[in-house]
Structure 1
Amino acid sequence: MSHSTMRQTACGLAYWDNGVQQGNTYVLLHGISSGAGLWAKQFASQAGQHRLIAWDAPGYGGSVALASATPTAADYARALKALVDEAELGTFTLVGHSLGALMASAYASLYPEDVSRLVLASVAQGYGQTTAEQQQQVYEKRPRLLAKLGPEGMARERGPFLLGQPTPSNMMLVTQAMQRLTLGGFTAASYLLAYDSIDYYLPAIHQAIDVLYGEDDGITPPAGMQALQQRYAQISLHAVQEAGHLLYVDQPQAFDQLVFGQTQQGNKENNT
């Protein structure tokens, strides 16, 4: 994140901002076991090209928690709206990964005028329409693991499942992100995952939606992404080969091509 500055909103949300004044604006929402820092490869590749904003979700890293311990995706969306307005972002591409995809869907349903394009990756669809027993299990599972193992132990145990390419440098990124987890923020996000559903938000979104997934993702498997597309005609699916759940860490070039399009350097090469 050497090209970027960690900023804080008046309401206490921390976010990375690369401060680029040209290109398009992209707002990046991380998943449940993560944080803003895990987008480091995208901040490196887009330096000088596009403006990137990546928040620590409420209760994560340097961000204050939500007022509610039992939040919906709309609660996270309203928190993001305060950041968007304070930073005067105008319209932007909203990119949500995993649980961030659920938050992004809520945001696009509530504030469609802000979102020029919606990109969802490795979508965590939520368990809001499953049994009470399953919801309780989902709610308790991750916080219990964090309390038992601590952030570093959790990174060692969970990291290899999140990555298709668990290289030392990729594992280091995951470990650094997990070290900034707090039990309160993680527990609130687990409540969201357990009791909300993306199916409460997607019907209100009428614009095209790009859904990206890793072909080797064991957390939100390809079959789940295909089922999502069958329910919503506005979804276009994009597979990323040799990528697991954290596809933007595993295969940053393929991910960046799908999200940001050609880099300026790539355009120059094509013109010669």
Structure 2
Amino acid sequence: MSHSTMRQTACGLAYWDNGEQQGNTYVLLHGISSGAGLWAKQFASQAGQHRLIAWDAPGYGDSVALASATPTAADYARALKALVEEAELGSFTLVGHSLGALMASAYASLYPEDVSRLVLASVAQGYGQTTAEQQQQVYEKRPSLLAKLGPEGMARERGPFLLGQPTPSNMMLVTQAMQRLNLEGFTAASYLLAYDSIDYYLPAIHDSIDVIYGEDDGITPPAGMQALQQRYARIRLHAVPQAGHLLYVDQPQAFDEVVFGQMQQGTKENNT
């Protein structure tokens, strides 16, 4: 990824850091089928503006896996805390996409003093409060697909469903991210998705939360984001037109306007 340097913590977590010394600090958490490299458009747009740090979650890319094969979001949050302390970040805006939104919510509930603002995108809310049968199906679905198709085959099959704008350049970003998937880390993350729930963490967060979603998202549909706001009135909803699940890849300017406060067109807000 241009505009950044890959670093690794003493405990084995890999992350991209643009090393910017001015502006604010943003920590970016990717979703279950992706990796740090998918934030490439944000690293390009924020060069010279803000410091961005995007990790490869434990078990992804070059990051070591968690000790537990049956983790909760709190386990990922504690791993992130070690990175935050080693990098001496101070307070920062925490941005979580999809399953990263569940991890980010856990982090904000455990370490509120670190998080100056919480932004969640295309929120994967988890299946922790559903039936055991559904949980087992969710747990097995993605790892079995990766084992069957391999990373490139999975990118070809799943990529178009993740994007609202499946252009060749966007598909290339998705393919590059999926090529770095590790079955062990992917399986652990699938366990998290299946057996944890964002509702275990959001009640402890008392500040406003920005939630961004793509209007064409078929993975975490708009209705789910609206239902989340109905449960938590402090959520501010931001709808991004012509964007799918990977809205920050599909419509980076609209996404960046909400996250980084840039005066760009394309995002509409709904607080009703």
Shift of 1:263: 6.7
Label 1:187 to 1:267 Cα distance change in 2 as closer, same or farther (>3 A). Answer: closer
Shift of 1:262: 2.0
Shift of 1:271: 29
Cα deviation digits, residues 178-219 of structure 1 (max 9, x gap): 000000000000000000000000000001000000000000
Instruction: Indicate the SS of the match to 2:118.
Output: strand
Distance, in Å, in 2 between the alignment partners of 1:187 and 1:159 is: 19
Q: How does 1:45-60 map to 2 (within 5 A)?
A: 45-60=45-60
Moved over 6 A (4+): 263-272
Shift of 1:267: 18
Q: CA contact under 8 A between 2:237 and 2:270: conserved in structure 1?
A: no
Shift of 1:268: 23
Label 1:21 to 1:231 Cα distance change in 2 as closer, same or farther (>3 A). Answer: same
Label 1:266 to 1:152 Cα distance change in 2 as closer, same or farther (>3 A). Answer: closer
Label 1:66 to 1:270 Cα distance change in 2 as closer, same or farther (>3 A). Answer: closer
Q: Which moved more, 1:261-270 or 1:171-180?
A: 261-270
Shift of 1:48: 0.5
Q: CA contact under 8 A between 2:238 and 2:269: conserved in structure 1?
A: no
Instruction: Indicate the SS of the match to 1:263.
Output: coil
Label 1:4 to 1:129 Cα distance change in 2 as closer, same or farther (>3 A). Answer: same
What is the percentage of aligned positions where both structures have the same residue? Answer: 93
Aligned position for 1:91: 91
Distance, in Å, in 1 between the alignment partners of 2:118 and 2:271 is: 29
Instruction: Indicate the SS of the match to 1:266.
Output: coil
**Structure 2 runs not aligned, ≥5 long:** none
Distance, in Å, in 1 between the alignment partners of 2:161 and 2:136 is: 22
Q: CA contact under 8 A between 1:49 and 1:263: conserved in structure 2?
A: no
- In the superposition, the TM-score normalised over structure 2's length comes to 0.97
Distance, in Å, in 2 between the alignment partners of 1:133 and 1:268 is: 38
Aligned position for 2:115: 115
Label 1:116 to 1:160 Cα distance change in 2 as closer, same or farther (>3 A). Answer: same
- In the superposition, the TM-score normalised over structure 1's length comes to 0.97
Cα deviation digits, residues 91-138 of structure 1 (max 9, x gap): 000000000000000000000000000000000000000000000000
Q: CA contact under 8 A between 1:6 and 1:17: conserved in structure 2?
A: yes
Distance, in Å, in 1 between the alignment partners of 2:190 and 2:267 is: 42
Cα deviation digits, residues 46-69 of structure 1 (max 9, x gap): 000000000000000010000000
Distance, in Å, in 2 between the alignment partners of 1:174 and 1:271 is: 31
Shift of 1:3: 1.4
Distance, in Å, in 2 between the alignment partners of 1:2 and 1:174 is: 16
Shift of 1:2: 1.4
Instruction: Indicate the SS of the match to 1:105.
Output: helix
Cα deviation digits, residues 70-94 of structure 1 (max 9, x gap): 0000000000000000000000000
Label 1:32 to 1:269 Cα distance change in 2 as closer, same or farther (>3 A). Answer: closer
Distance, in Å, in 2 between the alignment partners of 1:83 and 1:271 is: 34
**Structure 1 runs not aligned, ≥5 long:** none
